[in-house]
Amino acid sequence: MDWLEVTIYTTAEGIEPVCGNLYQLGINGLQIEDEADFKEFLENNHQYWDYVDDELLKEKAKETCVKAYVSDNASGNEMLLSIRQAMRSLKEYDKDGLFGRLEIEIGNLSEEDWANNWKKFFHPMNVGKRILIKPEWEELSEPTDRLVFNINPGMTFGTGSHYTTQLCMEEMEDYIDGTKDVLDLGCGSGILSVTALMLGAKSALAVDIDPNCIDVAYANAKRNNVNTDNYEVIAGDVISDEQVSAYIKQKKYPVVLANIVADVIIGITPLVKECIREDGVFIASGIIEDRIEDVKAELLENGFEIIKISKRKDWVAVTCRKISCNG
């Protein structure tokens, strides 16, 4: 298997939060290059040498960074999108700029080359019983009775090729109908909320911390001929922004979706409890297997009963229901 080297430029203060975000995405085996550590090592151990090669000093004087590796295939490219979104969210959180520029470099690939890299791997794929995800540059070889979601991979997580997205979509098929309003938390490209509307949802509200997701999600709705009169996309932190959380809680949703990471799912569960109706279904995906027990504990603590646990590779989705006060 071929691999892509992903370099994230940060600072000494940013190493821990950057690595934490990558671990949340299931990425291990990180390589850290910290100029400050090298200088401290030289200072504290100077008794062991009289001279340090100038070339070595130049090499170690580079900007602090964290390096990770993802597979050079469709799943790996989807992971790159999630890394990009995680770093944008971290930058939004880092108001004082302590974590550096948080920009990403992918091997020797330019942005244009990386964007085109999708076309080597991304082909039409069936998801669940009713959905077919198709890159817009490809034509179907034969007619289909599935709902065809056309997408052009851009710079926002959510193309359907990642296991977490597929798990969530497969569960959605069992709970979406024309009477259901849907809330999509951490919407990314809007793939889940737009698909919900294609499946017949009455309406959908999509929320993401990254403002770039607004244009991307609306573009995906337009690309798939979805009526945006019943679709709203907003940006903001549902945990820390009281205006955003108050806006979401104006309605009780029968279906709530969240394809994020374990810690965020744990963090938003009390909010979901407030904005989901009794007997409403919460579908949470993006959970690495090692964290499933933590997520389950939080859901149970907040009055949800587990309906189903779905797993693919190292990723897990949880479908649960808010327990009725009369139940």
pLDDT in tens, 15-30: 999 998 888 888 877 8
Tens digits of residue pLDDT in 230-252: 999 999 999 989 999 999 999 99
| Number of neighbours of residue 244 by Cβ within 10 angstroms | 18
Give the pLDDT of residue 214: 93
* Arithmetic mean of pLDDT, 106-119: 65
Give the pLDDT of residue 111: 58
Tens digits of residue pLDDT in 275-294: 999 999 999 999 989 899 99
**pLDDT at 53 > cutoff 60:** no
**pLDDT at 200 > cutoff 60:** yes
**pLDDT at 49 > cutoff 60:** no
**pLDDT at 110 > cutoff 50:** yes
* Residue 94: pLDDT band with limits 50, 70, 90: confident
CB 77 within 8 A of CB 121: yes
Tens digits of residue pLDDT in 257-281: 999 889 899 999 999 999 999 999 9
Give the pLDDT of residue 3: 78
Higher-confidence residue of 56 and 196: namely 196
3-state secondary structure of 271: helix
Higher-confidence residue of 243 and 209: namely 243
Give the pLDDT of residue 23: 86
> N- to C-terminal Cα distance for the chain?
51
Task: Set out the domains of the chain in order of their start, with CATH numbers.
Answer: 3-119 (3.30.70), 159-322 (3.40.50.150)
* Residue 186: pLDDT band with limits 50, 70, 90: very high
Distance in angstroms (rounded) separating the CA atoms of residues 145 and 193: 21
Give the pLDDT of residue 71: 80
Give the pLDDT of residue 52: 44
**pLDDT at 50 > cutoff 90:** no
What does residue 324 show for φ and ψ, rounded to 5 degrees? -70, 145
CB 215 within 8 A of CB 193: no
